[in-house]
Amino acid sequence: MPKDSPGFSTLAIHAGAQPDPTTGARTTPIYQTTSFVFNDADHAAALFGLQQFGNIYTRIMNPTQAVLEERVAALEGGTAALAVASGHAAQLLVFHTIMQPGDNFIAARRLYGGSINQFGHAFKNFGWQVRWADPADPANFESQIDERTRGIFIESLANPGGTFVDIAAIAEVARRHGIPLIVDNTMASPYLIRPLEHGADIVVHSLTKFMGGHGNSMGGIIVDGGTFDWSKSGNYPMLSEPRPEYAGMVLHATFGNFAFAIACRVLGLRDFGPSISPFNAFLLLTGIETLPLRMQRHCDNALAVAKWLKGNPQVAWVNYAGLEDDPNHALQQRYSPNGAGSVFTFGVKGGYEAGKKLVEGLQLFSHLANIGDTRSLVIHPASTTHRQLTEDQQTSAGAGPDVVRLSIGIEDAADIIADLEQSLGKL
């Protein structure tokens, strides 16, 4: 690549990748192996002691995974990254690295339903407490911070409603209190938003969604922004205190601005084991090559569909920040001028039953629990992804009884609209 800073589309194709030194293969190979041969006993000891970088075992790292990690770190503007089995696995490793039993973190109420469940239920088994805040009100985060708060978690573009969050304002709250801001950037992708540029310290993704883009591979990733001082407060002992597993090494002192990514790998991934397969890493890399092309088409199609729905008499409301009269439009223009994303919600007159009937009547759309596919997808969150929540919780999360969530694909916009029109006509 040229020595000066390459553009986003160039990075999406080339970052982290070189022709294979042995075979000359131009596409990154799938290193489908469990383990790697050491040069000698000293080489093995240096690898296990974190005195030298290299491959030991695919549960911990693998050359195919390494290209994926370097590419996403480059696209997000981070110092390093760690690829794992899923977005949920990424969140688990992040919080395992910063939390101790009895600690808490503040999370935005408007999140993917699975994250709400993970934070509110599964994390209790580790002694971690979540406190919920309104993402539209940064002061709501600040009012809940105490001496045991270890982080703030938000989505840059909230699922399922597609609402934008004022990342910089919440980052300022986190900075004032000396805690990291963690941003799930799954819905936007770095093509639309780069949270680290707005004050975030850590970025996570479900690579399963827009980054991979084809609905064929599970994966997650953690991107280290390299911006947080893990030693200053003494509240993050995994990074600031000697680690007995590594002969008393202090990870932050040793690895500096990519210490968080190292800690997630050697203290979390190593022991919990949610590793991504080399084959999935390969498929996700291939998907990322077309990310900028796909995301722009997603956004253009979604705006056309939202405008059409806005004028349909059977639609009660449309929540899409790309519409000029949307309350979120100013934030969208500030944070994501290339578009408002692919995912948004609308309400069908007739409520819960009408929403279910609409979904069942669609033909081009696929009814499934995913977003970010090349294909247009639909779901009724109250009866599926957010079903485990109370009605009040569903409404707070933007998934009330009448809500239908669309993930607009890259088909012809006229065909997407025609399918919605025929199904709405049956109500």
251-297 residue pLDDT tens: 999 999 999 999 999 999 999 999 999 999 999 999 999 999 999 99
Say yes or no: domain 291-424 is CATH 3.90.1150.10.
yes
Residue ranges, CATH 3.90.1150.10, the chain: 291-424
pLDDT value for 401: 83
Residue ranges, CATH 3.40.640.10, the chain: 8-287
Enter the CATH code of domain 8-287.
3.40.640.10
Asked whether the beta carbons of 109 and 133 are under 8 A apart, the reply is yes
Q: What is the mean pLDDT of residues 184-209?
A: 98
pLDDT value for 389: 73
Give, as one character, the DSSP assignment of residue 134.
Answer: -
Q: What is the mean pLDDT of residues 338-349?
A: 95
Asked whether the beta carbons of 257 and 230 are under 8 A apart, the reply is no
Separation of alpha carbons 187 and 155, rounded Å: 8
The residue type of 122 is A
Separation of alpha carbons 159 and 208, rounded Å: 15
- Which residue blocks in 197-350 are alpha helix, DSSP H? 237-240, 251-255, 259-263, 270-272, 278-288, 291-310, 329-335
Write b or e for each residue in 379-416: b if 16 or more Cβ atoms lie within 10 A of its Cβ, otherwise e: bbbbebbbeebeeebbebbbbbbbbbbbbbbbbebeeb
Q: Which residues contact 322 (CB under 8 A, 6 or more apart)?
A: 299, 302, 303, 306, 329, 332, 339, 340, 341
Percentage of residues in the chain with pLDDT exceeding 70? 98
pLDDT band, very low/low/confident/very high, at 2 (cuts 50, 70, 90)? low
Q: Which residue in the block uniquely carries the two structure tokens 């936007």?
A: 188
Q: Which two tokens stand for residue 234?
A: 């003494």
pTM for the full predicted model: 0.94
CA distances from 427 to 5, 105, 355 (A): 53, 43, 9
Residues pairing with 317 in the sheet: 347
Asked whether the beta carbons of 158 and 108 are under 8 A apart, the reply is yes
Percentage of residues in the chain with pLDDT exceeding 90? 88
Q: Which residue in the block uniquely carries the two structure tokens 């991979």?
A: 212
Q: What is the mean pLDDT of residues 96-119?
A: 95
CA distances from 275 to 64, 118, 401 (A): 12, 19, 37
Give, as one character, the DSSP assignment of residue 363.
Answer: S
E runs forming strands in 214-262? 220-224
382 has pLDDT over 80: no
Q: Which residues contact 137 (CB under 8 A, 6 or more apart)?
A: none
Separation of alpha carbons 183 and 196, rounded Å: 9
Separation of alpha carbons 150 and 127, rounded Å: 13
